C-alpha cells in the first residue's frame, strides 16, 4: 500500500497505522473529519467529498492557503526555512501578529512545526504557541508533501472548517462517514491534550459519543479512534470495538 505523508508532524498523527485504519472506511461517501489534525487520514482515504475541520485556527489557516495559493505559501515557507532565523524570534512574531490569517502566519506555523520539539503543537492558556525549539540540526523542508496535500485539497471536493466537533458532526446525515480522532482519554494525568488552550476532558469525550450516536440515528456511519481503557469502553459502549496495536507519540507520526 502506498502511504502518503502529511507535510506536518502531529501528536497522535495516524500516519503509522493508516494501513490498519483504511479497511474500516466505506468508499464513495461524504467523508467528515471533525479532528483533522495533520490530515494523515484525509490524504490517504478515497471519498466522494470531504469536510475537514479542526478547532485549531492556525492549522485551518494553513490548509486554506495550501488550497487557495500554494505558490505563495510554498515560496514564503521555503524562504523562512532557507534563512538564518532564531526559533524564538519566529515564535514570538507568530504569537503577536499584526494581522490574522496571513500567508506569513501559515508559513511560520509550518516552520514552528518542523523546528519545534518533536513536532508538538501546544498552546498555553493565553492561546500562545509555547513549544520549545527542537534538537534536530538537519530540518527537512516538506515541499513535496505540501504540493501533494494542496493537490488533494484542490482536486477533490474538500471543504475546510475551523470549529468545535459538535458543529461539524451536526452536518452529517444519511450516507456520511464521520471519522473522529480526538485527543485521547488516557488515565495518565500528563497525557497530551494540549492542542488547544482548553484541552479535552472526560465530559468532552462523553459529549462526542452522544453527538456521534445522534448522527448514527440520522443515518451516518461513525468511526472513532481512542485508547483502550475502562473509561473509553464505558463512554463508547454503544459502538463496536476493534483493537489495533499502536505505539503513538509525537515522534512517531
Ligand atoms: C489526535 S489529533 C488528530 C490527528 C489526525 N488524525 C492525523 O492523523 O493527523 C486531534 C486533533 O483534535 C483537535 N481538537 C481538539 N479539540 C477539538 C475540538 N473541541 N473540536 C475540534 N477539534 C479539536 C486538535 O487541534 C487536533 O488537531
User: Residue 241: how many CA atoms within 13 Å on its side-chain side?
Assistant: 13
- Domain residues for the domain of 120 are 63-143
Does a structural domain hold residue 124?
yes
State the average pLDDT for the chain.
92
pLDDT band at 99 (very low <50, low <70, confident <90, very high): very high
> pLDDT tens digits, residue range 77-88?
999 999 999 999
Residues 47, 172 within the same domain: yes
Does 6 fall in a domain? no
Record the cell numbers describing residue 177, joined without a space.
462517514
Same domain, 123 and 176: no
pLDDT of residue 247: 61
Position 145 scores a pLDDT of: 98
Q: Is 102 helix (H, G, I), strand (E, B) or coil?
A: coil
Here the cell at position 133 is: 525549539
Average pLDDT in the 71-98 region?
Answer: 97
Residues 33 and 98 in one domain: no
Residue 188 has a pLDDT of: 55
Q: CATH code at 51?
A: 3.40.50.150
Q: Which of 17, 37, 184 to mutate to test the pocket of ligand 1 (most atoms within 8 A of CB)?
A: 37
What separation in Å is there between the alpha carbon of 83 and the centre of ligand 1? 31
Examine the pLDDT at 41 and tell me if it is beyond 50: yes
| Range 45-58 average pLDDT | 97
Last residue within a domain, chosen from 143, 167, 192: 143
Same domain, 80 and 135: yes
Dist. CA 152 → ligand 1 center (Å): 20
**pLDDT tens for each residue of 202-211:** 999 999 999 9
Residues 6+ apart with CB under 8 A from 98: none
Per-residue confidence band for 69, with pLDDT thresholds at 50, 70 and 90: very high
- The 10s digit of each residue's pLDDT in 136-176 is 889 999 999 999 999 999 999 999 999 999 999 999 999 99
**C-beta of residue 12 within 8 angstroms of C-beta of residue 183:** yes
Tell me the backbone φ, ψ of residue 249, rounded to 5 degrees: -150, 175
Q: Are both 84 and 133 inside the same structural domain?
A: yes
Residue 10 in marked binding region: yes
187 pLDDT more than 70? no
- Sheet holding 49-54: strands in order across? 157-162, 49-54, 30-33, 176-180, 221-224
| Distance (Å, whole) CA 213 – CA 207 | 10
Domains in the chain, number: 2
244 pLDDT tier (thresholds 50, 70, 90): confident
Q: Which of 73, 134, 81 is nearest to 111 (CA)?
A: 81
- Considering the domain architecture, whether residues 131 and 192 belong to the same structural domain is answered as no
As for ligand 1, residues whose beta carbon falls within 6 Å of it are 10, 12-14, 34-35, 37-41, 54-56, 164-165, 181-183, 195-196, 200
Amino acid at each position: 500500500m502506498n502511504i502518503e505523508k502529511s507535510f506536518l508532524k502531529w501528536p497522535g498523527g495516524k500516519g503509522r497505522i493508516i494501513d490498519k485504519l483504511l479497511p474500516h472506511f466505506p468508499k464513495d461517501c461524504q467523508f467528515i473529519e471533525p479532528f483533522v489534525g495533520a490530515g494523515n487520514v484525509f490524504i490517504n482515504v478515497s471519498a466522494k467529498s470531504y469536510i475537514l475541520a479542526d478547532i485549531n485556527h492556525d492549522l485551518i489557516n494553513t490548509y486554506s492557503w495550501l488550497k487557495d495559493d500554494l505558490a505563495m505559501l510554498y515560496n514564503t515557507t521555503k524562504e523562512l526555512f532557507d534563512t538564518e532565523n532564531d526559533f524564538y524570534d519566529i515564535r514570538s512574531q507568530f504569537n503577536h501578529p499584526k494581522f490574522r490569517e496571513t500567508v506569513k502566519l501559515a508559513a511560520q506555523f509550518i516552520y514552528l512545526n518542523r523546528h519545534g520539539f518533536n513536532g508538538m503543537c501546544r498552546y498555553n492558556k493565553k492561546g500562545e504557541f509555547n513549544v520549545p525549539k527542537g534538537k534536530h540540526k538537519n530540518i527537512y523542508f516538506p515541499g513535496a508533501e505540501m504540493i501533494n496535500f494542496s493537490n488533494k485539497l484542490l482536486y477533490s471536493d474538500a471543504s475546510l472548517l475551523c470549529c468545535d466537533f459538535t458543529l461539524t458532526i451536526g452536518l452529517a446525515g444519511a450516507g456520511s462517514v464521520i471519522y473522529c480522532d480526538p485527543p485521547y482519554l488516557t488515565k495518565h494525568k500528563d497525557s497530551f491534550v494540549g492542542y488547544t488552550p482548553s484541552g479535552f476532558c472526560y465530559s468532552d469525550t462523553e459529549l462526542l459519543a452522544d453527538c456521534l450516536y445522534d448522527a448514527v440515528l440520522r443515518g451516518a456511519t461513525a468511526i472513532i479512534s481512542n485508547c483502550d481503557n475502562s473509561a473509553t469502553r464505558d463512554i463508547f459502549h454503544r459502538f463496536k470495538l476493534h483493537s489495533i496495536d499502536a505505539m503513538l507519540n509525537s515522534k512517531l507520526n
